[in-house]
Structure 1
Amino acid sequence: MKHQHKQIQADTDCCNTSHRNPTNVKHNEHPHNHEDDDGHNHDHDASDKSKLQLFLPAIVSFSLLVVGLVLDHLIHPTWFQGWVRLALYLAAYLPVGIPVLKDALYSISKGDIFSEFFLMGIATLGAFAIKEYPEGVAVMLFYAVGEVFQTLAVTKAKGNIKALLDQRPDEVTVLVNGMPQLAKAKTVAVGSIIQLKPGEKLALDGELISESAAFNTAALTGESKPDTKKKGNLVLAGMINLNTPSQLKVTAAYEDSKLSKILELVQNATTQKSTTELFIRRFAKVYTPIVVFLALSICLLPYFFVANYVFVDWLYKALIFLVISCPCALVISIPLGYFGGIGAASRNGILFKGGNFIDILANIKQVVMDKTGTLTAGVFKVQQATILDGFDRTELLKWVNALESNSTHPVATAIRNFVGEVDHSVTLHEVEEIAGHGLKASINGKPFLVGNFRLMDKFNISYNKALSDVIYTVIAIAYDGKFAGYLTIADNIKPDAPRAIKLLQQLGINVTMLSGDKTSVVNDVAKQLGIKQAFGDLLPEDKVEKVKELKNRGLGVAFVGDGVNDAPVVALSDVGIAMGGLGSDATVEAADVVVQDDMPSRIPVAIQISKQTKRIVWQNIALAFGVKAIVLILGAGGLATMWEAVFADVGVALAAILNAVRIQRMEF
């Protein structure tokens, strides 16, 4: 089973199309890929072949088997016996049997004797040895058909993901001295200006230079509704221009685009195996040799205990036992189930970095969420700027804008929108970002502070304590050791945040909100969303302590965040979930699950997909063990023939495969 498992992993571990033709198996150690000039992989495999080509060996085998059965049971010609009968059934066996026997020899040469191919080989050759030719052909034929269905299922799962994600054009239109020129997307440098016509798909991340344009964002978010971008907004590779010719300045190289990173995440997702998959891998390595030795015992031991021992009869029973016991349904369907779950999540704008996180998320009882950028839009707007007497309002705001331009926080964008473009003539020295507090610099040799009231307290700046009661977020300003004024900034709750909290609560999951924002603001947002437990005024290390407290209670904890300061707590939680659209690269890197479109309602969807995936996997395990146990009991009593054994093996495998791919068609 080990070799078979490796091949299934090869299918699911890389989002390239399977090299595996079930009736002509290519070993994963000998891939036949090549890469063309644009870096795309082109595999010569099942996805490039028609279904007729895949099924052709099985069709030939089935046709000859039917001819043999008609001659055996209906026509009864005198010539159809001896070597003629053997030759016909051998011709039926070879199209489907040779590839499996070759794989059995190959796995033996690699030290893996007890593979699935070895089991099928000795079972079918044994049937030929005792002249049960039709059963030998049937076992291998149905096994081959099962493998074709498995390949089609895996290919479809991978095709769904690739069709959803990677449809970038290979060429883009670059403006060189105002003149459009076609160029390979991989060669376009950061800072180049590219032109995008209506209906064209963007190949590179870029900043919109045109005043506005509408884009279909389905490739990254799973949502096909138009998203209108304004001048200066970031437009990501994979988005489709809908309405007007647009110009963009490239902000990231081809291989560094968001879509490239998403593809890399999906390609690597199944390298992280779930607990169930790892168990089945270990189980198969122990189980298969036990099955072989039990079959030998069934064949040989009765010689010492049965008076009228007939070798052929007991060999037949041993062969039935081998076919029934083959665990291919488990080894095929379980990885396929997790791959289907990862594919279903990708279709809904959610990226799992591994099947193990599906298992963990399915058992989560506590979701901890950051506020800004997660439950609120993270798009701030300055409501009011209050500057105290004795300070130059225009100059002070110009300084604030220049200092905030060193921050990646959405507040910086709000201030720039309020004040205007950054004045680069402002000379800042010793610029420092103090996590959870704000920014510090030196202007004209004097300290300049912009941040929350914790920053003021840290540097012993006195201010009116009543400002702490303002519901809006307050950005405090101090210069030369004196409180200089403040900005009030408001953020809006995301439209789907209330629905997300409601769905999580319906799933029986506790929701806690943590934020570095003022407690009054945090409590107001929590009240609007129906969150019962919320904490504000937290530093990054305070968030870590809160999550540790929850984990110490024995609760499975998922943390959802988007900022750089969320990366430590994302990494600490059982499952870290990052908002991948607005979220920082550090948080996305640390996370186990990435929500591509920043919609909090994706979180309960991710949990539902996890629960459904795990349910399907355990259904397949129960089905495989249940049916095989029943048929083994019948076989032990002499009531099961090779045909029942074929059903117990291939029939259950097909049923498990169909059940595993079901999740890809579900709506969440």
Structure 2
Amino acid sequence: MAHSHHSDCCNHEPASATKVVAVPQKDESSWRSHLDLLGALAILVVMLVLLYGFKIQFPNLVNLMIYGTAWLLAGWSVMKMAFRKVKRGDFFNEFVLMTVATIGAFLLGEYSEGVAVMVFYSIGEWFQDAAVSRAKRNIKRLMDVRPDQVTVLRNGKSEIVNSSSVKLNETVQVKAGEKVGLDGELLSETASFNSTALTGESRPDTKTKGELVLAGMINLNTPAELKVNALFKDSRLSRILEMVQDATARKSRTQLFISRFAKVYTPIVFFLAFALCVLPYFFVADYNFNTWFYRSLVFLVISCPCALVVSIPLGYFGGIGLASRNGILFKGGNFLDVIAKTNVVVMDKTGTLTKGVFKVISVEAEGLAPDRLVYLAGSLESLSNHPVARAIGEYYGTREKGIVRDAEEIPGMGIRGTVDDQIVTAGNNRLLEQYGISYPVGLNDISDTIVLVAINDKYAGYFRLGDELKEDAKRSVTDLKKAGLKVVMLSGDKQTVVSEVGRELGIDEAYGDLMPEDKVNKLQLLKQRYKVAAFVGDGINDAPVLALADSGIAMGGLGTDAAIETADIVIQNDQPSKILTAIRTGKITRSIVWQNIVLAMLVKVLVLIWGAGGMASLWEAVIADVGVALLAILNAVRIQRISLG
């Protein structure tokens, strides 16, 4: 029979358990793959219409043959699965449960009810399969945006080749409107890209020559050329896909609990149903076997735990998909649970709350005009690739530069050379001291990074540089505090700088001058105080703290490989505002999962009581079972449609 793909929900091995992003070759949730089930439903409807609408009754043998055919059509795959499980020694599962219940109904002559149980149970499974397949397709479609082919320049000609065959340092062309197939360095002067698939942000991301462009981005306007710096299998997007695949296999504590619960719950139900049939013989004066046997069948049907075991993993799928759509990667459903309980968010400063890019804050000149100082230092620093030198070069801009000769860069100190026949020295205090140049000693007390400048070996002023705050940093901290969370900053920068940033952002506690091991010790103390802590960082020195935190969150854009690999959650666009989005996703997922648990258990307990008391029939039992399963599934699927703003 075509619908032989039922999920083994009583053993917690639903289709959702592994390889979520592998979409089946054939859509098993389509109506064509369930023609046998639809045929059984048609037979049941026709027979009920003839019986209750036209009062036409058939002989018992004819009824048995017609309903028996419908039962086989609807339940063949269920019985086959039950037989396979019994052969493996697994007697207590939903397939055996449904087979026993429907055979029992036939033995009592309740043919229509026996068929109805099997038909509606199989329809419920169909909906479950469809919902799981939809969740898989959503995550697949959301993330797998890698083009299989790219245009590569070889021997002066463009060739269309498989992305996996392109080698490092080859040049690929990306036309306007095309998706980027491989990570690479932009060779064109400028190009704008849509990075929604990676970051969840729809606004254009304009790149300039030399900047990194990632696979999965879409070239918006002009043709661009890239120099490949990562193989297809090593691209950032390929790693994201692996994370999503791994995420679906990591079960949350709630999922694991329900799995263990189902393994204990199902055999208990079998024995209770048996007791419901047999024990009244010893206590009820007018005991009738058929009556109590029927009640035990109702008990069996309503006790099926499938609504719990299918809808709960589906809820975590929805949470992972919702987060991915917002540029956040959870490496497992278990981390959705953990982050929902977070009490304190601990953050690194550089690259997390700040852009990690130096910017000139002020210029102080002595003995010459500030513009002249900027001209001389900017001309010299334009020859260096050091981040501090680049910051001064950007501050100077595109204005005409002086003639530079005999420039020498001294590692760890600065640069010295001749600009328009004047000797310019630009660097830290050690560089000036090396050349015997005196400067105001009070400059050593400035907390920010400074570049001292001397003209003809005489101190001439300094540049004060700072790391610029991210645009949403202050709003992120404010929103986290409004949500009732404590916000703490741990940084290796000077305490004066850290305190200043902390005051500007409104952070509760800010600690500076910390080595990596100091951060670990601080986080341990914070965990003792606040119980559940999330840490957000991006550098290689953050890896130990990310590993220690209950939820380790890495900034995926600027973050190092070590931080991204160690973290439990990755924020693709480096925006601190996504931290609260991640926490909200975890809370929404947990809320909906527990709604499903309460709903399923409440309905089942009520109908079990009614069935044991003879107030519910097999019809009501199967409708209640399938109904609560469908409600739970629809509630779980709802997660994927939620907007987080």
Q: In the alignment, which residue of structure 2 is the partner of 1:566? A: 542
* SS of equivalent to 1:648: helix
- Contact 1:470 1:520 (C-alpha < 8 Å) held by counterparts: no
2:255 to 265, 269, 277: 277
1:586 corresponds to which letter in structure 2? A
- Aligned pairs (5 A) from 1:421-436: none
User: For 2:25, which of 39, 44, 48 is the aligned residue?
Assistant: 44
- In 2: Cα distance, 1:2 partner to 1:186 partner: 35
Alpha-carbon separation, structure 1, partners of 2:223 and 2:93: 58
Alignment pair present for 1:332 and 2:314: no
Aligned residue in 2 for 1:185: 163
Q: 2:53 aligns with which of 52, 74, 89?
A: 74
Q: Which residue of 2 is the match for residue 436 of structure 1?
A: none
Tell me which of 527, 534, 554 is aligned to 1:578.
554
Structure 1 match to 2:576? 600
In the alignment, which of 4, 11, 14 is matched to residue 9 of structure 2?
4
Q: Which amino acid aligns with 1:11?
A: S
Partner Cα separation in structure 2 for residue 60 and residue 135 of structure 1: 16
Tell me what 1:502 maps to: 478
Distance 1:598 1:412, change over 3 A: farther
- Number of the residue aligned with 1:491: 467
TM-score (norm 2): 0.86
Give the number of equivalent residue pairs.
603
Mark the CA change 1:413 to 1:586 in structure 2 (over 3 Å): closer, same or farther: farther
Q: CA deviation at 1:371?
A: 1.0
Deviations 1:63-112 (A, max 9, x none): 1001111233233435x122211111122222220011111112222332
Q: 2:356 is paired with a residue of what secondary structure? A: coil
What's the counterpart of residue 40 of structure 2? 61
SS in 2 for 1:11: coil
d(CA) in 2 for partners of 1:7, 1:17: 19
1:642–1:193: structure 2 CA closer, same or farther, 3 Å change rule?
same
Q: CA deviation at 1:333?
A: 0.8
The sequence identity of aligned pairs, in percent, is: 55
Contact 2:382 2:389 in 1 (8 A): no
In 1: Cα distance, 2:133 partner to 2:624 partner: 25
Where 1:339 maps in the other structure, the secondary structure is: helix
Match of 1:435 in 2: none
* 1:322 Cα deviation from its structure 2 partner: 0.5
1:538 equivalent in structure 2: 514
Normalising by structure 1, report the TM-score.
Answer: 0.83
C-alpha distance 371-9 of structure 1, shift in aligned 2 (>3 A): farther
**Does residue 548 in structure 1 map to residue 527 in structure 2?**
no
Distance in 2 (CA, whole Å) between partners of 1:526 and 1:346 is: 30
Per-residue CA deviations over 1:304-331 (Å, capped at 9, x if unaligned) read 3333322221111111000111111110
Bigger shift: residues 605-614 or 82-91: 82-91
Change (3 A) 1:555 1:182: same
- 2:603 aligned residue: 627
Instruction: Verify the 8 A CA contact 2:477 2:487 in the aligned structure 1.
Output: yes
**Aligned match for 1:15, one of 20, 23, 28:** 20
The worse-fitting range, judged by mean Cα deviation, of 146-155 and 328-337 is 146-155
- 1:502-521 aligned at under 5 Å gives the runs 502-521=478-497
Residues 3 and 112 of structure 1 are in contact (CA less than 8 Å); yes or no, is this contact kept in structure 2?
Answer: no
Distance 1:294 1:451 in 2: 81
Report if aligned partners of 2:10, 2:263 keep a CA contact under 8 Å in 1: no
Post-superposition shift, 1:4? Answer: 2.4
From 225, 230, 233, the counterpart of 2:203: 225
Q: Aligned ranges for residues 306-325 of structure 1 at < 5 Å?
A: 306-325=284-303
8 A contact 2:74–2:118 mirrored in 1: yes
Call closer, same or farther: CA 1:304–1:463 in 2, change over 3 Å.
farther
RMSD: 3.4
C-alpha change, 1:164 and 1:468, in structure 2 (3 Å) is: farther
Q: Deviations over 1:521-565 (max 9, x none)?
A: 222222222213212222212211211110121421000001111
For residues 11 and 446 of structure 2, what CA distance do their matches in structure 1 show? 60
Does residue 302 (structure 1) correspond to residue 307 (structure 2)? The answer is no
Please list every run of 5 or more consecutive structure 1 residues that lacks an aligned counterpart in the other structure.
19-42, 405-409, 432-438, 442-449, 454-461, 478-482
CA contact 1:65–1:92 (8 Å) conserved in 2: yes
Equivalent residue for 2:592?
616
Q: Distance in 1 between matches of 2:428 and 2:163?
A: 41
Give 1:594 deviation, angstroms.
0.4
Name the CA distance, whole Å, in 2 between partners of 1:305 and 1:44.
57
Report 1:121-132 matches (<5 A). Answer: 121-132=99-110
Q: Decide whether aligned partners of structure 1 residues 356 and 342 sit closer, same or farther in structure 2, where only a CA change above 3 A counts.
A: same
**Per-residue CA shift, 1:447-502, capped at 9, x if unaligned?**
xxx9999xxxxxxxx9977445435334799xxxxx9x986432211111122112
Q: SS at 1:248's partner residue?
A: strand
Q: For 1:387 and 1:191, how far apart are their aligned partners in 2?
A: 44
1:380 is paired with a residue of what secondary structure? strand
Mapped to 1, the partners of 2:584 and 2:17 lie a distance apart of: 22
Query: 1:456 corresponds to which residue?
Result: none
How far the C-alpha of 1:413 sits from its partner, in A, is 6.4
**Aligned position for 2:400:** none
Aligned to 1:610, the other structure's residue is in SS state: helix
Structure 2 Cα separation of the partners of residues 518 and 313 of structure 1: 81
